Amino acid sequence: MGEPLKKKTNFTPRRGPVVLAIMDGVGIGKYKEGDGAAEARTETLDELKENWPTTSLKAHGTAVGLPDDGDMGNSEVGHNAIGCGRVYAQGAKRVNQAIKDGSIFDGEVWNKLVAKVKETKGSMHFLGLMSDGNVHSNLDHLKALVSRAKQEGVSRVRIHGLLDGRDVGETSALEYFDPFEEFLQELSDDSFDARIASGGGRMQITMDRYNANWDMVKRGWETHVLGEGRSFSSAHEAIETLRKETEAIDQDLPPFVIVGEDGQPVGTVEDGDSFILFNFRGDRALEITQAFEAGDEFDRFDRQRMPKVEYAGIMEYDGDLHIPKQFLVPPPSIERTMAEYLVNSGVRQYSVSETQKFGHVTYFFNGNRSGKFSDKLETYEEVKSDNVPFEQRPWMKAAEVTDKVIEAINSGEYEFIKFNYPNGDMVGHTGIYEAVLCAMSALDLSLTRIKTAVEKAGGVMVVSADHGNSDDMYARDKSGNIKIKANGKPEAKTSHSLNPVPCIVYDPQFKGEYSKTLRSGLGISSLAGTCIELLGYQPPEDYDPSVLEWK
C-alpha cells in the first residue's frame, strides 16, 4: 500500500461524485473560420462556459513534455499529464536526447540488432510513420538510425513507410517520401543498399489500436513481412497512382509493395534479419509488435510464416506487460499517478470510454500501466466502437458512454468518475467539417444528460480536453490565410491544433469556498490537482497547482 493523500481541512466534499469529462480533441480556436467546435450547436457547453468558472489550459508542446511549443499535443501525452499531475519528458523528446548523446547507439539492443545482420548478411528493417508530426514518430529519428546503420557496417536496409495525412497535411506524403528517397540514394553505394520496400495509409494497415480492427494489422503483415500486395517500382509511383484511383487522403491509401526489375519484392522479412519499429508512441504500436513477438499461441490472424528476426521498438510501449521485449530508448517512468493516490486513499473510481479512447482513460491515464491499482476500488468499462469510418457515424458512441456514466453517478458507488468523448478528435481527423459539426452537437447532447445527473446527485463536474483538433479544421499558410483547393473549397486540416483547451468547473452546490475566477497560465496537468481538491484531499506537493483559488 502506497502513501495516501492528506485530507483538505478547509473544504467539505460534495455529497455526489467528482466527474471528469474529457472532450477529446476540443480546443479553443484561434480563428473563427474552421472552428468546428465553436460553430457547432452546443447549447450546454456554451451555457457552462458562460455561467460557471472557466479558464483555458495549455495542452501542447512543453506543457505536456514535448520538445518544443511548436509540437502538437496528442491523446497519449495529454492523458499522461492529466493522470499524473506533472509533466514528464515524452517520446519524441526522449528519443531526441538519446540520439543527441549517443546513448541509443551505445545500448545493448541496438548493438545486438546490428551484430545480427552483419553476421547473417541479412537486412535491417525499419517500420513506422513517415512524417515529422512528432505524435507517433519523427522522420529525423529514422534518418539518424539509417545513417548509423551504414556507419556500423550494415549492408542492407529496408524501409516500410506508413503514410500519415493525420498529424500532418492530409496529402503531404510526397513531401516526406520523395526527399527520403533522395536521402537513401545518396547514402547507398557499393557497400550499402537502402530502399523503401512497402507502405500504405496508417488507417488502412498496421497501426490499429485497442484491438479495434486486427484486419489492419493482418494487411500490414502481408505487406511489410510477406511482400504481398499491389506492386510498384517506387513509393512515388505508388502514392500518385493510388491517389488518382481512390481519391483518398494519405491516411486512407491502400497498401503497396515495391518490386525490383525482376518483379520481386525488394524487402520481404527473412530469417536472420533485424526489425525496428521506429514509432515511439505506444497505442498503435502494440498490435504489430504482438504479431512479431507472440509465439505459436498467436491467433489474431494467420501469419503464414514467422521469420526468425531480432525485433525491437524504439521505445517500450507497455511498461506493465513489457512490450516489446527489446527497445532502444527507455520510456519515462511515470509514478505516483492520481489513480494510484486515490486508491491508496480508499477512493472508489470509475473509468469509461468507447474502444477508440478506452486505453486513454485507463492505460495512459495511469502512467502507461495496463492493470488496475485495485480491483476492489477501480471499475473499467469499455463501450465497443463501431468499425465504420468516423465521418459516417460522427456521433460515435457518445450516447452509450453517457448511459454508463449516468448509471455510475446514480449508483452512488463511486467518488470519482472519469470518461472520454472521442468525437472531437476522431471525427476531426477525417477533415470533414460537416461531420465535425454533427460530432460536437452529439457530444453536447450527451453532456446535457450528464450535467443533469451531476446536479441531481449533488456532485461536481470538471469539463476539459486533452488537446485541440475540431477547433482548427482548415489548413493555413504561414500568414494564417486559409489554403484554398482547386475546386475553391478550403483545404482540410486533419491534425491536432496548437490551441489551448477549456477547463470548466460545474459545481451546483458551490458555497463560495473558492474564487469564481480560475487560475490562468496552467497546463492540463493541473486537472489532477483540481480533481483531488474537489474530492477533499490535498494534492501531492510536486503536483502542478489546481485551477482553484481557495479562500
Question: In terms of C-beta density within 10 A (0-12 exposed, 13-18 middle, 19 or more buried), how is residue 12 classed?
Answer: exposed
Residue 173 sits at the vertex; the CA angle it makes with 169 and 175, to the nearest 5 degrees, is: 90
Measured between alpha carbons, how far is 371 from 361 in angstroms, rounded to an integer? 12
Q: Where are the alpha helices (DSSP H) in 10-107?
A: 36-39, 43-51, 75-84, 91-101, 103-106
Measured between alpha carbons, how far is 278 from 282 in angstroms, rounded to an integer? 11
Side chain identity, residue 308 = K
| Consecutive H or E run containing 345 | none
- Annotated catalytic residue: which of 56, 75, 526, 546? 75
E strands, 376-510, where?
378-383, 416-421, 460-464, 501-506
Q: What is the largest CA-CA distance in the chain?
A: 78
Cell numbers at residue 422, please? 472521442
E strands, 52-177, where?
54-57, 124-129, 156-163
User: Cβ contacts of residue 270 below 8 Å, gap of 6+?
Assistant: 122, 123, 307
Residue listed under C-alpha cell 520510456 = 331
Q: How far is CA 226 from the centre of its chain?
A: 28
Q: Judge whether 307 and 154 are in contact, CB under 8 Å.
A: no
188: Cα within 13 Å, side-chain hemisphere: 13
Cell numbers at residue 178, please? 520523395
345-to-338, 362, 367, 458, 538 alpha-carbon distances in Å: 11, 18, 18, 22, 11
Measured between alpha carbons, how far is 126 from 269 in angstroms, rounded to an integer? 11
- End-to-end, the C-alpha distance of the chain in Å comes to 33
- As beta bridge partners, residue 514 has 550
Catalytic annotation present for 479: no
* Residues involved in catalysis: 75
